[in-house]
Amino acid sequence: MTPKSEEYLSSNIQDVADVKLALIPAESSDKESTTMVSSTPHSSRLKYLSLGVLVLQTTSLVLTMRYSRTLKEDGPRYLTSSAVVTAEVLKIFTCTFLVFMENKYSLRAMNLLLKEEIVKKPVETMKLAVPAGIYTLQNNLLYVALSNLDAATYQVTYQLKILTTALFSISMLGKRLGLYQWLSLLSLMAGVTLVQWPTDSTGEQKVLTAGSQVVGVVAVLMACVSSGFAGVYFEKILKETKQSVWVRNIQLGLFSFLLGFLGMMVYDGQSVRQSGMFQGYSAITWTVVVLQAVGGLVVAVVIKYADNILKGFATSVSIIVSTLISYFLLNDFHPTGVFFLGAMLVIAATFLYGYQGKPANGAVKV
């Protein structure tokens, strides 16, 4: 995988899960997948190790975030705005250490590099304020979504980021989609529609109210749009400049921290002043923060060993695992036949979107 592809993947640090797999443009990923995976036994082992890491990261963040937002505690619940800011701080420190490693543990070399790439290039640095602001909004929306939706419904619905990314890639980058990609997008929309189809189930076992369901779905849809736009915007920037993947993430983290801190003080300032920024934090809260900050960086490193089929398989396994855990452990999800049909259509769409068919002369361009 090229350095720019790694940067593009790691930049979308939240998407969450799930995200980083679907945000790869179909046109570029088809070309890269032929060179990402070799036939050596060592590479084969790395492929399946990558599969495990992708499934673990994609599933664990969603489930722990959902659990942390529904866990009944005696004291005040942690502030989601605080968790977003804390994750950005951890991300900045992690990327700074990686830059330190890249410069052979030389503080002088690292300082010179950061000064050259960040301070002396203010215009290039300011370009990242746009995706940083959108990613900050997206991270807060994901907390809202998982506070109102079960993990299974969230996982399936959030795959709409494939659709938004494809549409923004067409409009902003002039990318072309083949027949299989368009068919996958139709399957995706049909699947998500079925997952959100209203059911007649009522009674004491119903956990979510209609109002909270609507709030959760709207939050997911807004996160999908913001994810698609920010990812494509960031890809466009990467095509114009050359920088270290970790330096780019430091720049994104700095803007995200500033914007996130401002948002926290505007919306939760009174709570922060009364009980502190880390009120309600527990072990599960810190787990969510670490997964949110470091998870995307880990995926960016290992995903170069995964081809399109493996990425689709990881997404599918993650959806299935989230469904099972939501039903058996969290007890906040009661699947229906319509849900399973919609989930299968979404899973099929993730495979079809990355299918490497023969280049068609009739590829559709909008």
| 85 assigned to some structural domain | yes
Q: What is the torsion angle, in degrees rounded to the nearest 10, for the CA atoms of residue 58, residue 63, residue 66 and residue 71?
A: -150
| 361 assigned to some structural domain | no
State residue 86's pLDDT score: 96
d(CA 317, CA 52): 10
Yes or no: say if 37 and 43 are a contact pair by the CB < 8 Å rule: yes
| 333 assigned to some structural domain | yes
Ordered DSSP codes for 123-190: HHHHTTHHHHHHHHHHHHHHHHHHHHS-HHHHHHHGGGHHHHHHHHHHHHH---B-HHHHHHHHHHHH
Residue count of the chain? 366
d(CA 336, CA 241): 49
State residue 124's pLDDT score: 83
d(CA 289, CA 158): 20
Yes or no: say if 50 and 305 are a contact pair by the CB < 8 Å rule: yes
pTM of the complete model: 0.77
CA-to-CA separations, 330 to 23, 67, 71, 336, in angstroms, rounded: 29, 7, 10, 17
SS3 (DSSP) at 15: coil
Q: Computed over its alpha carbons, how large is the radius of gyration of the chain?
A: 20
| 33 assigned to some structural domain | no
d(CA 81, CA 61): 17
| 194 assigned to some structural domain | yes
Backbone angles phi, psi at 177, to 5 degrees: -110, 140
| 232 assigned to some structural domain | yes
Token pair for 62:
């969603």
pLDDT by residue for the chain (366 residues), tens only, comes to 444 444 344 434 334 333 333 333 333 444 434 443 444 566 667 777 777 887 888 889 899 999 998 888 777 889 999 999 999 999 999 999 999 999 999 999 999 999 998 888 888 889 889 989 998 999 999 999 999 988 888 988 998 888 898 899 899 888 888 888 899 889 988 998 888 776 655 444 455 466 688 899 999 999 999 988 988 887 787 777 777 778 888 988 999 999 999 999 999 999 999 999 999 999 999 999 999 888 767 766 665 666 556 666 777 888 888 888 888 888 777 888 888 899 999 988 888 887 655 444 433 333
| 270 assigned to some structural domain | yes
Give CB contacts under 8 A, 24+ apart, made by 359-362.
Answer: 359/178, 360/178, 360/179, 362/179
Q: How many domains does the chain have?
A: 1
Token pair for 184:
């996958």
d(CA 28, CA 67): 36
Q: Which residues contact 9 (CB under 8 A, 6 or more apart)?
A: 20, 23, 24, 296, 299, 300, 303
Residue bearing tokens 């599969």: 51
State residue 330's pLDDT score: 81
d(CA 356, CA 210): 41
Yes or no: say if 59 and 315 are a contact pair by the CB < 8 Å rule: no
State residue 307's pLDDT score: 59
| 89 assigned to some structural domain | yes
One-letter amino acid at 19 equals V
State residue 25's pLDDT score: 38
How remote is the C-alpha of 224 from its chain's centroid?
A: 9
For residue 272, the enclosing domain spans 44-199+209-354
State residue 271's pLDDT score: 93
